[in-house]
Chains A and B, each alone.
Chain A
Amino acid sequence: MRWASPFKLYKAGILGMNCRNVDFIGRYNLRRFYPLVDDKLKTKLLAEEYGVATPALISVVRTQHEISHVEERLMALQSFAIKPSRGSGGKGILVITGRRDDYFVKSSGTEITLEDIKRHLTNTLAGLYSLRGNPDVAIIEDLIEFDDTFEGYSYEGVPDIRIIVFRGYPVMAMLRLATHSSDGKANLHQGAVGVGLDIATGRSLKAVQFAVPIERHPDTGKPLIDMEIPDWENMLLLASRCYEMSNLGYIGTDIVLDKSRGAQLLELNARPGLSIQVANGRGLLPRLRHIERIRKPHKTAEERVAYAMQTFSASGL
């Protein structure tokens, strides 16, 4: 079968891009709230205001001359992450995991100099990684020390959990594991491994890389079946609270599990991708329509999470 029949896809409840854009993003995400999620700095400040845990901000570089000011600061740091505030698709994220003399070690193991970092900052400020090439701001934040549970599951970079939250209800989740071929990035189309997670339990359902089911991590060989995310309910709660925080009906929340600080919100995405369906082996559409039909949505995140855990189990909807 080289092409799937559209009717079978629809029957399987698979959400297509046009449908996502028109029926969900277009209808539930008001344009004026976009800047809050498109700008990571704003998201961060908002998260702090709403008491949603996020990695600590080290510094913000807004202008070219500020780059020389942060030099000393960076030299003193062992690990950090530099992100463009309005980057898209994981572009322009530089993760430094350690130091070797004057060199900075990237998550991929490559060593780079301070000059390279400064150039990266310059590029970021000039808007190279931002959505429309607009001048941008660079955020330097604490590197997540990921939880031991994920030891050996991610080749480079941070394993993060993507949870789709629709009208405040977590509807589908997956664990994204960076691989060598994804260069430490967690985007599935770049070659990261996606592990579908059961909303009810936080256990893994299946794992895919490049849309092909796999059983072990391609780089580390760790088995991907029977994983269980610790502190699952708290993670769903964190995701669910992002609804009130962002005012957006259909969002993708990217959450990481820090060794000491627990679940941390990395970023929000107002146009979350569709490959989460592939990782879960099931379509989003039935769950989204189910939530759409709820007349009286639950008021608190706790109620919504409880409802979702009950409704969206692996054997349920």
Chain B
Amino acid sequence: MVSRVPFYTTVAILIITGLSLAMMRHLQLGIPFWPGEQKQAWLIEARVDFVSFDQPVLASLKLPHNPPGFTLLNEVAASPGYGFAIIEHDGQRRGEWSKNQANGQQTLYYKAQLIPDKNTLETTTEPRPLARQVLWSDAEAIAASDILTQARSKSSSAESLTRELLRLLRNPEPGQNTALLLTNHSIASALDKLLNQAGIPTRVSVGLYLEDARRRQGLTQMVEIYTDDRWLAFDPQTGFQGLPENLLLWQRGGDSLLDVVGGQNSRVSFSMIEQTLPSIELAQSQFAGQGLSWLGVHTLPIEEQSMFKLLFLLPLGAMVVVFMRIIIGLKTSGTFMPILIALAFLQTSLGLGLISFISIVAMGLIIRTWLSRLNLLLVSRIATLVVLVVFLVSLLSLVGYQLGFSTGMTITFFPMIIIAWTIERMSILWEEEGPKEVLIQGGGSLLVAVFAYLIMQLPLSGHLTFNFPELNLVILAVIMLMGQYTGYKLSELRRFRAMLEQR
């Protein structure tokens, strides 16, 4: 007896490989398992306005760089007549517009598409920053050290010190010391200076609260402190610690947000809208060329992709045929003819496909009866049928077109050679076994084709087979398993029922 162990091992390996590859690609590349899954994305537009008088212009805007909690999907700059470049330097990104001669009101746009992404972790590769030297006026210096002493007495770490300082600075009834500091400083810059004086490295970042359909959204200053090898953000206005989910850190520390050389009255304003994008498109553009993405067929030109789309459906159709024949026991004319018909149905739509297929085969059968009288050799008879089928199909298309069915042309998707062979087989079957067998086998083929079509046209099947081609390994395993099925076919339960009755 042949050992079944290698067989089942192979099947198990196929299933595990298929499923785990699919799972990995799902997790790593974010390809969704369900078609039509939507993801939230933000389209943010930064608009730079300034006036220039016949001067060479260089405008430089700080751009977001790996903002925590977001992934930059794409960015464009639209400004007529300007050259644009993105310059990366010291972990900072700036967009630079330049023009030789600009006159009058100038408007520059920068658009970025970002998707919220909780997995974007803060990466601090930079060396540990140092606290800056702080300069106060004499009176301020005394007030500052008083406040610091007061805050230190109630805190144990950099984090709690910051919280305590914020509480003091935001006190609605400020004491003398805080009032003094806040006359010349904003809460943010006062906090920044106090912390540096306490020896805690900080930076002042600029964030943008994302709210749908907001125009001229103001920027929010955030104070970040460096402690325990990471940056912690505080909102000096609200006193909250940490980054709110809808806050995009546009600029982190560093120099100015906007520099315009050769222009005046420059300002930058932000507007934004929330978008929903199909996750599948996001996954494609976001992870192109990363990790396991080479396994997908998205890298191919569109034309090849659409071919693969059909090709990857074939295993599913083959599985349906195997199931129908082995488990159900349906008779079909030609083993895999039903898949080809089903593929044709995918192009023509079911109703039209069925009508045209049946009418072509019926007409072909009539012609074939006449052909059989001519006593032709087999090959030439089939070839004659092929030519006649081509004529029939063209005729049907033309008639359909004249009748106003724009879909008339799609009949040409039927595989002519297969149809010719089907007609030949059906005709022989008719002569030898009678019309009943023709109906059984022809009907069986059509039934299987319709089933295969119904399964293949499901958006989920198309989506899964195309985006996770490795799932076809699972289909392969199922087909192999069915090849080892030794139980009864459903049709045999009827075929042999008389034997049980007689007992």
Contacts and interface: CB of A to CB of B under 8 A. Distances in A.
A binds B: yes
A277 B499 contact: yes
Contacts of B326: 18
A3 B494 contact: yes
Nearest to B494: A3
B255 interface: no
B430 to A, nearest CB: 13
Contact of B502 (A122, A123, A281): A281
Interface string A96-123: 0000000000000000000000010011
Contact of B493 (A9, A12, A18, A126): A9
Interface of chain B, main secondary structure: helix
Contact of B428 (A14, A128, A211, A278): A128
A311 interface: no
B433 A190 contact: yes
Given A3-B494, A8-B500, A190-B433, A22 B484 contact: yes
A278 to B, nearest CB: 6
Interface residues of B, number: 29
Contact of B498 (A6, A23, A64, A212): A212
Contact of A126 (B379, B433, B492, B497): B379
B6 interface: no
B496 A122 contact: no
A211 B495 contact: yes
B497 A1 contact: yes
Given A2-B494, A4-B494, A281 B499 contact: yes
A133 B421 CA distance: 11
B499 A16 contact: no
A213 B497 contact: no
Contacts of B500: 1, 4, 8-9, 12
A22 B486 contact: yes
Contacts of A123: 378
Contact of A17 (B433, B489, B498, B503): B489
A19 B488 CA distance: 8
Interface in B378-407: 378-379
A133 B433 CA distance: 18
B156 interface: no
A212 B492 CA distance: 15
A108 to B, nearest CB: 13
A178 to B, nearest CB: 15
A277 B498 CA distance: 11
B496 A18 contact: no
A27 interface: yes
Interface string B15-44: 000000000000000000000000000000
A146 B497 CA distance: 34
B487 interface: yes
A127 interface: yes
Interface in B434-490: 483-489
Interface residues of A, number: 36
Contact of B486 (A12, A14, A18): A18
A235 B465 CA distance: 57
A9 B379 contact: no
B135 interface: no
A271 interface: no
B487 A211 contact: no
Given A18-B326, A22-B486, A3 B497 contact: yes
A91 B429 CA distance: 10
A9 B488 contact: yes
A9 B491 CA distance: 13
Contacts of A8: 500
Nearest to A118: B375
Given A1-B501, A6-B493, A122 B377 contact: yes
Nearest to A280: B499
A10 B488 CA distance: 9
Nearest to B375: A119
Contacts of B492: 9, 16-17
Nearest to B502: A281
Contacts of A91: 428, 432
A68 B503 CA distance: 56
B239 interface: no
Nearest to A92: B432
A12 B428 contact: no
A184 to B, nearest CB: 12
A18 B492 CA distance: 10
B116 interface: no
Contacts of A16: 486-489, 492
A18 B501 contact: no
Contacts of B483: 22
12 contacts: A1-B501, A2-B494, A4-B500, A8-B500, A12-B500, A16-B488, A16-B489, A18-B486, A18-B487, A64-B377, A123-B378, A211-B495
- Going nearest first, the 7 A-B pairs with the smallest beta carbon separation are A126-B378, A4-B497, A19-B486, A16-B488, A3-B493, A119-B375, A4-B493
